Structure 1
Amino acid sequence: MSNNNWVTKHITRLVLLMMIGVGMDANAGLFGIGGASWKEEALQPDGQKIMVERNVVRKGNHEIGQRPPIGNQSLTFSIPNTGERVTWEDSYSEDVGGGNFNPMLLGVQKNTAYVLASPAGCLSYNKWGRPNPPYVIFKYEAKQWQRIQLQELPAEFKSPNLVISSPDDAAEEATHGILMADKISELNTGFQQPVYMSILREPLAASGQGSCPELVYYKGAWIGPGDSIGKRMMDRIKK
């Protein structure tokens, strides 16, 4: 292969990765916004149910004929015993072309709140360090959310208690604007992947999301971790 052909091939690959990074292809680029709000009963290990207000706004680049991805979303709830109102938010991120997470669990133990989420796609999975199992966990303490390790999540939390997939679609089945705990369990039963059926505590034998290539975000593009040519190209583009 000639040097020119090799460079052309590499440029093509880099451009494709940049396009993936913003969630678009040759037929994409439409921008759209839509929103939905509803409530979900988050069943706790002790049988208590916490009412969670969910808000989702679809925002970002998307292919023709498809909806925008979830861009901004929030969970708002009250901590039992104290009554403190708390909001967890996931905002649109340019590097992944949408929101970062699929919330799976909202739990409260001893007046401390936890949110467990799975990365929303391969780019988010790489952005958040390729966790295995593929979970990102947050703890609310001293009036702020901080990321914690899986082993810090109380062992009592064993099952998802929020709608995982396309929650704004599921909201259409809400009764008087509320998705009951048993309905949430029913909606989540369609998953075949173990990571969504329960909260796994041990690393998977294969990578947490084995189909996701390892990528790093460099000056506006997702490239392979050892891609020196890609880095040089981005250095030139960003001069």
Structure 2
Amino acid sequence: MTDGSIVARVRSDASLVSQGIDMNIGTSIRCWAIVVLLVSMGGGMNACADGTSWKEELLLHDGRKLIVERSIVRKGRHEPFQRPPIGEESLSFKHPVTHERIRWKDEYGDDVGMSNFGLLMLEVDQAAAYIVAEPRGCLSYNKWGRPNPPYVVFKFKDGDWKRIALQELPARFNKPNLVMSSPDDEAKQAGGRLITAEMVNRINTPVAAWAMQPQYKTILREAMKPGSPGVGCEELVYYKGAWVGPGDSIGRRMMDRMSK
């Protein structure tokens, strides 16, 4: 590894690979002129990426505070002249016990048209670290097994991030501590200043309708009622490059013909 950091990349095939990589800080790209040219030529929108990086202070379960570096790049499928979705997200921090520099990275997935997750919580326990995330949108929700409650949990230990069952997350880890909704916008509003733990709590305080949903107030341990927001996505399966219903024989035949 080139810089001693640990990287966990969430790839489009849902595999996790650890390796070292330098973090790009403070990148911001504007390319509307290129977008106009591409649209006029019938091209796609993925050529334009908008990146934001910032530092955020987390309040851990035991009262300690941890500063993390976060970065988001907006890119992916979207309507012309509409804002791209979050296409890549990374988070890095120095473990307070092992002093190891650890990095998490969620990469763009062609199958979902954006990144896979929205981050909710980072916690540490002795030499281990935990991340709780939610699938980003219905395609990701289906890709990651339709979890209920709608969380995907990862544990970092022995140099790697691995997915674990929600039941393996220590019960004392029960409150989201990362900026959850459009964190790059909140970082821009902060004007490059550190987003403190107090600011995180204020930003995450339930005001908007989405924030009133119980899975954002605390880390739920019991399944939610079927059809509730967060677990109400239509069931889909990924078949030969397209999402189809599990019993959609017409959709499967169409993809069979297209793949020949």
Tell me the TM-score normalised to structure 2 length.
0.78
Which residue number corresponds to residue 201 of structure 1? 221
Aligned residue type for 1:53: E
- Whether 1:75 and 2:91 are equivalent positions in the alignment is yes
- Shift in Å at residue 65 of structure 1? 3.5
Among candidates 231, 236, 239, match of residue 215 of structure 1: 236
Which residue number corresponds to residue 62 of structure 1? 78
Structure 2 distance, partners of 1:158, 1:175, is 30
Percentage identity across aligned positions? 56
What are the residue-to-residue correspondences of 1:225-236 with 2, within 5 Å?
Answer: 225-236=246-257
Contiguous gaps of at least 5 residues in structure 1: 1-27
- Shift in Å at residue 173 of structure 1? 3.2
Which residue number corresponds to residue 39 of structure 1? 55
Structure 1 distance, partners of 2:59, 2:87, is 26
The structure showing larger relative contact order (alpha-carbon pairs under 8 Å, at least 6 residues apart) is: 1
What are the residue-to-residue correspondences of 1:136-155 with 2, within 5 Å?
Answer: 136-155=152-171
What are the residue-to-residue correspondences of 1:95-110 with 2, within 5 Å?
Answer: 95-110=111-126
Structure 1 distance, partners of 2:204, 2:256, is 44
Q: How many pairs are equivalent?
A: 212
CA RMSD of superposed structures (Å): 1.5
- Whether 1:169 and 2:156 are equivalent positions in the alignment is no
- Shift in Å at residue 177 of structure 1? 2.7
Cα deviation digits, residues 64-116 of structure 1 (max 9, x gap): 33211111111100111221000011000000000000000010011200000
Aligned residue type for 2:236: L
Cα distance, 1:117–1:210 mapped onto 2, change above 3 Å: closer
Aligned residue type for 1:200: L
CA contact (8 A) 1:29 1:63 kept: no
CA contact (8 A) 2:149 2:231 kept: no
Q: What's the secondary structure of 1:30's corresponding residue?
A: coil
CA contact (8 A) 2:54 2:192 kept: no
Give 1 or 2: higher helix fraction. Answer: 1
Q: What's the secondary structure of 2:212's corresponding residue?
A: coil
- Whether 1:158 and 2:174 are equivalent positions in the alignment is yes
Give 1 or 2: higher strand fraction. Answer: 1
Cα deviation digits, residues 171-219 of structure 1 (max 9, x gap): 0233753110011111111311111111111101224634311000101
CA contact (8 A) 2:154 2:162 kept: yes
CA contact (8 A) 1:34 1:58 kept: yes
Among candidates 137, 140, 151, match of residue 135 of structure 1: 151
- Shift in Å at residue 228 of structure 1? 1.5
